């Protein structure tokens, strides 16, 4: 029973949501290639719950949503809450910001479209944005494989202080007029600045040439 209890303990610990007895049974039977009674599983779970009920443990096994899950005990909620708040306030990475921007401006969008724009896989980044609740799953696309469709969440709107997608800055708002080329004004200014310079250079060269000619023709006269 001890070995069975340890395997059940590992299953409950690794499950991201409450795990049902039927799921535990299926996993164990597949792993050991043997039939296991649900009564044995329930008995082992009860023993584990009794074990973790001791005050020496900061978490216990709770029966919720038809399954079992490890949860922190109430006296530690405040400490955990501070940690979660600190993690949530961490700055987003460049990759996360790029991915978030694509989702915000292209939504509703599927992951393959995001990856096509960024040129790299974005599984991890999208999951991080989901964890931070800045994006959400809107549904599934009708295309092959029915991929998930992503969009920004209400928390995204609150985080950036906007009421809707229509309030997002337009791409033209980021353009720097000083860096634009080919404007009529620039062409006129360039032409007016360059033409006089050419004329001045030509005139100066002509004047210098005339001066030399005059000097050559005049110099012999004083000697006479």
The secondary structure of residue 19, as a DSSP letter, is B
Q: Are 99 and 169 part of one and the same domain?
A: yes
Contact 63, 70 (CB under 8 A): no
The answer on 53 and 23 residing in a single domain is: yes
For the domain that residue 44 is a member of, what is the CATH number? 1.10.10.10
48: how many CB neighbours lie within 10 A of its CB?
A: 19
Q: Are residues 65 and 101 in the same domain?
A: no
Report the C-alpha gap between 33 and 20 in whole angstroms. Answer: 19
Pair 134, 103: CB distance under 8 Å: no
Whole domain around residue 137: which residue ranges?
A: 94-173
With beta carbons less than 8 A apart as the criterion, state whether 142 and 116 touch.
Answer: no
Does some domain include residue 200?
no
pTM higher than 0.75 for the full model?
no
- Quick one: pLDDT at residue 211? 41
CA distance 162 to 169: 10
Q: What is the pLDDT of residue 148?
A: 96
Tell me the C-alpha distance between 26 and 36, whole Å. 9
Is 214 inside any structural domain? no
Instruction: Report residue 86 as tokens.
Output: 């600190």
Q: What is the pLDDT of residue 162?
A: 83
The residue among 13, 45, 74 that closes a domain is 74
Q: Roughly how many angstroms between the first and final C-alpha of the chain, as a whole number?
A: 134
- pLDDT, position 171: 65
80 within a domain of the structure (yes/no): no
pLDDT under 50 in the chain at which residues? Answer: 179-224
Residue 217 placed within a domain: no
Q: Are residues 99 and 51 in the same domain?
A: no
Same domain, 154 and 113: yes
Sign of CA dihedral 91, 93, 98, 103: negative
Q: Is residue 220 part of a domain?
A: no
Residue 207 belongs to a domain: no
Same domain, yes or no: 49 and 101 = no
Residue 9: Cβ within 10 Å count: 18
Q: Do both 50 and 21 map to the same domain?
A: yes
Structural domain total, the chain: 2
65/105 same-domain check: no
Kindly state the tokens that stand for 142: 């009708």
Last residue of a domain, one of 134, 149, 173: 173
Single residue among 173, 199, 216 that ends a domain in this structure: 173
Query: Is 154 among the domain residues?
Result: yes
pLDDT for the residue 92: 83
């Amino acid at each position: 029973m001890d070995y069975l209890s340890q395997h059940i303990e590992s299953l409950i610990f690794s499950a991201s949501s409450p795990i049902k007895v039927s799921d535990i049974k299926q996993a164990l039977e597949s792993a050991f290639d043997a039939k296991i009674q649900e009564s044995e599983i329930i008995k082992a779970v009860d023993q584990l719950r009794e074990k973790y009920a001791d005050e020496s443990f900061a978490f216990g096994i709770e029966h919720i949503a038809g399954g079992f899950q490890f949860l922190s005990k109430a006296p530690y909620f405040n400490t955990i809450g501070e940690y979660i708040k600190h993690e949530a306030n961490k700055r987003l990475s460049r990759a996360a910001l790029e991915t978030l921007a694509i989702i915000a401006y292209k939504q509703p969008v599927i992951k393959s479209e995001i990856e096509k724009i960024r040129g790299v896989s974005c599984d991890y980044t999208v999951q991080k944005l989901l964890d931070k609740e800045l994006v959400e799953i809107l549904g599934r696309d009708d295309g092959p494989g029915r991929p998930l469709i992503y969009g920004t969440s209400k928390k995204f709107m609150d985080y950036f202080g906007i009421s809707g997608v229509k309030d997002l800055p337009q791409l033209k708002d980021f353009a720097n007029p000083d860096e634009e080329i080919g404007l009529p004004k620039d062409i006129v200014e360039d032409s007016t600045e360059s033409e006089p310079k050419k004329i001045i250079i030509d005139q100066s060269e002509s004047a210098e040439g005339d001066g030399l000619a005059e000097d050559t023709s005049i110099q012999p006269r004083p000697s006479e």
